[in-house]
Amino acid sequence: MRNPLMNQRLLVICITLLVVLVGCSKDSAEKEPLVTVQTAVAQKTDLSQVVNAEAVLYPKNQSAITPKISSPVRKFLVNRGSRVHRGQLLAVLENRDVQAAVTENQGSLEQAQAAYTTTTAAGLPEELKKAELDAKTARESLDAAQKLFDSRQELFKEGALPRKDLDQASVALVQARAQSQIAEQHLAALESVGRAQQTKSARGQLTAARGKFDAASAQLSYTDIRSPIDGVVTDRPVYPGETPPQGVPILTIMDTSSVIAKAHIPQDQAALLKVGDAATISSNGTLETPAKVTLVSPATDPNSTTVEIWVEAPNPKGAFRPGATVHLEITAARVSNAVAVPSGALVKNDEGAWSVMVVGSDGRAHQTPVEVGIRSGDLVQITKGLSGGETVIASGAYGLPDNTRVEAAKAAPANEGKPAAAEKE
C-alpha cells in the first residue's frame, strides 16, 4: 500500500510540470514575430493600360516650293501667314524672254502645220502627177497599138495587107506594152514609197515643231509659282527682284489643319500599340485634344533601339504649332471588371513567377501564386490567382516568410504633421 505522503508529493510534481509546460507554451507564442504591414483589398475595376511619351509636332502636309528655272522674282502675291489653296498663284518670276521663245516656237509650229497640210491634202506632188500622166499615155498608146495590130491582122488574113505591115504592127504592140508596164511600175513605186516618205517627213517636222512649242510653254508655266497644297505660308526668304539660288525654296507651305506627333518609345511599349489606338495630345498643361495612332514603325531605330510612332490629331484652330514638344497618352488596352491590386503587392521569385501575400482570417500571410495582365498607373490586373475581395499585403511583402503573423498598420490621423493653427481650423 502506497504511502499517502508519497501520493501528495507526486500530485504536486505533476501540477508543477503542467504549470511549467503551459508557461513555456505561452512564452513561445509570445515570442513568435508579428510583422506590421500595409494592406489593400483586391478590387474589381475597369483598367486602361496607358503608354506615355514625349513627342514633337509636325504638320500633316508640307511643301517647300523651289522654282524649276533660274529667274528673278518679279512679284509675290502672298506673305507669311497667308492662308492659300491648292493651285493658287503665289508668285511670278521674270518671264519676258521665255514669252518670246513661246511666240517664236508658235510661229514654227504653224509653218509645220501648213507644210503638213500641203503635203497630205493639197494633191499629189509634181513628180507623182507626171508619173500618172506617163502611165495614162502609155496605156492609151498600148490600146492604139493593140487596135492597129488587130486591124492589120484581119486585113492580112483577107490578103489585103502584106506580111511586112503586120510584123511592124506586132513590134509596135510589143513596145507599147513594155512602155505601159514600165510606166505603171514607176507610178506604183512613187505611190507606195515616195508619197509615204514625203508624208512621214512632213509629219516629223510637225512633231518637232510641236515639241519645241510645248517645251517653251512649259518653261513659261514654270514662271507662275502655284501652291501644290492647301495650307499657310510659313516662310518666304526671298524678296522681289532677287534671283533665288539653285535648289533653295522661295516659299514654304504647311497644312496645319491636322498635326502629327512623332515619338520614339521602347520596344516593349511599342508592342502594346496598334494603328487606331485612342490617344491624347497635351501641351503646357492647358492644351489637350483627342487623337489616334496612325503609325507604329515596323522597324527599330538602330541607334536608339526604339520604335517610332505617329499620333495624329485635328488642329482646325491652329492651337498646336509644328515644332513644339507635346506629351502623349496612348490607351493601349482596356479591361472591364478586372481584379486589380497595387503594383507593390507583387513579388517575383527567382524563376520569374509572380505571387502576392494574402492575409488570411488567421492573421497570417499566405503566399499565393498569381498571373498578371495589364498595368494602369499603380494598379496591376490579376488574371489568375485572386477572385477579388482578398486582403493582400501592399507594402512589406518582399522577403516575408510564408505563414508569418501580420497586422495591418494603422492609418495616420488626417491632421498629423499639420501646424497647430491648422488643427484649430
In this predicted structure, what is the pLDDT of residue 296? 94
The CATH code of the domain that includes 83 is 2.40.50.100
**Same domain, yes or no, for 106 and 185?**
yes
416 within domain boundaries: no
**Same domain, yes or no, for 182 and 322?**
no
**Same domain, yes or no, for 166 and 115?**
yes
Q: Note whether 225 and 64 are within 8 A (CB).
A: no
The CATH code of the domain that includes 325 is 2.40.30.170
**Same domain, yes or no, for 231 and 290?**
no
**Same domain, yes or no, for 228 and 122?**
no
Cell triple for 318 = 491652329
**Same domain, yes or no, for 106 and 202?**
yes
In degrees to the nearest 10, what's the CA dihedral of 159, 165, 170, 175? -170
Cell triple for 346 = 507583387
Cell triple for 41 = 483589398
- How many domains is the chain built from? 4
In this predicted structure, what is the pLDDT of residue 223? 92
Q: For residue 356, give the 3-state DSSP assignment.
A: strand
195 within domain boundaries: yes
The CATH code of the domain that includes 389 is 2.40.420.20
In this predicted structure, what is the pLDDT of residue 129? 75
166 within domain boundaries: yes
**Same domain, yes or no, for 362 and 215?**
no
In this predicted structure, what is the pLDDT of residue 9? 57
Cell triple for 227 = 501652291
Q: Which residues contact 129 (CB under 8 A, 6 or more apart)?
A: 123
In degrees to the nearest 10, what's the CA dihedral of 105, 108, 109, 115? -170
**Same domain, yes or no, for 103 and 128?**
yes
10-residue averages of pLDDT along the chain (425 residues)? 56 58 51 81 87 93 93 94 94 92 91 82 64 86 87 82 82 87 81 68 87 92 94 93 90 94 92 91 86 94 92 92 92 87 87 88 89 86 89 83 84 46 37
In this predicted structure, what is the pLDDT of residue 420? 40
In this predicted structure, what is the pLDDT of residue 62? 94
State how far the Cα of 279 lies from the Cα of 48, in Å rounded to an integer: 12
**Same domain, yes or no, for 170 and 202?**
yes
- The range of the structural domain enclosing residue 281 comes to 50-64+254-333
**Same domain, yes or no, for 73 and 54?**
no
Residue keyed to cell 505601159: 180
Read out DSSP for 46-87?
A: EEEEEEEEEEEEEEEEEEEE--SS---EEEES--TT-EE-TT
**Same domain, yes or no, for 361 and 262?**
no
